[in-house]
Amino acid sequence: MLGEHGRFLKECIEQKYIGVNFGINLNVASFSSADEREWRHKMIDVYLSFNPDKSIATARNSVGFLWTICNGLKCGDIVLASDGEGCYHVGVITGDYFYCEGENLQHRRPVDWTGVVIQRKSMSKELQNSTGSIGTCCNITKYSEELDRLIGSNGIAKNREPKNIIKPYKERSLHRLLANYLLTQNKFSKTIFHEFSTKADQAQKWIHPDMVAVEFNEFHNSVTQSFLKVADTKRYVDLYSFELKRCINNDHQLKEYFFQALSNSSWANYGYLVAFEISEDVEEEMERLNRAFGIGVIELSPFSDATRIRYQARKNELDYHTIDKLCRINQDFRDFISKTARVLSSQNDVLEDVKNGLQKFCDKGFQSNDDIVSYCKDNCIPC
pLDDT at residue 148, as a whole number: 87
What band does 160 get if pLDDT is binned at 50, 70 and 90?
very low
For 244-284, write each residue's pLDDT tens digit: 999 998 888 899 999 999 999 989 999 999 999 999 889 99
- What DSSP assignment string belongs to 57-123? HHHHHHHHHHHIIIIIS-TT-EEEEE-SSSEEEEEEE-S--EE-TTSSS-EEEEEEEEEEEEEGGGS
61 C-beta neighbours (distance < 10 Å), count: 16
Report d(CA 185, CA 304) in Å as an integer: 9
What band does 203 get if pLDDT is binned at 50, 70 and 90?
very low
155-179: b (≥16 Cβ within 10 Å) or e? ebeeeeeeeebeebbbbbbbbbbbb
Average pLDDT, the chain: 85
| pLDDT over threshold 70, residue 106 | yes
Report d(CA 267, CA 262) in Å as an integer: 10
For 55-80, write each residue's pLDDT tens digit: 998 999 899 999 999 999 998 899 99
pLDDT at residue 157, as a whole number: 42
What band does 154 get if pLDDT is binned at 50, 70 and 90?
very low
Alpha helices by DSSP H, 132-212: 144-151, 175-184, 199-202
Q: Please give the C-alpha separations between residue 334 and each of 92, 119, 196, 269, in angstroms, as whole numbers.
A: 44, 57, 12, 17
Distance from first CA to last CA of the chain, Å, rounded? 35
Please classify residue 321 by burial: count the beta carbons closer than 10 Å to its beta carbon, then call 0-12 exposed, 13-18 middle and 19+ buried.
Answer: exposed
pLDDT at residue 193, as a whole number: 86
Tell me the domain boundaries of the chain.
4-151, 171-378
For β-strands 308-311 and 296-299, DSSP reports them as antiparallel
Rounded mean pLDDT of 142-151? Answer: 88
Please classify residue 98 by burial: count the beta carbons closer than 10 Å to its beta carbon, then call 0-12 exposed, 13-18 middle and 19+ buried.
Answer: buried
For 338-353, write each residue's pLDDT tens digit: 988 887 776 665 557 6
Closest CA to 179 of 23, 304, 305: 304
Look up the pTM and report it. 0.58
Rounded mean pLDDT of 74-100? Answer: 91
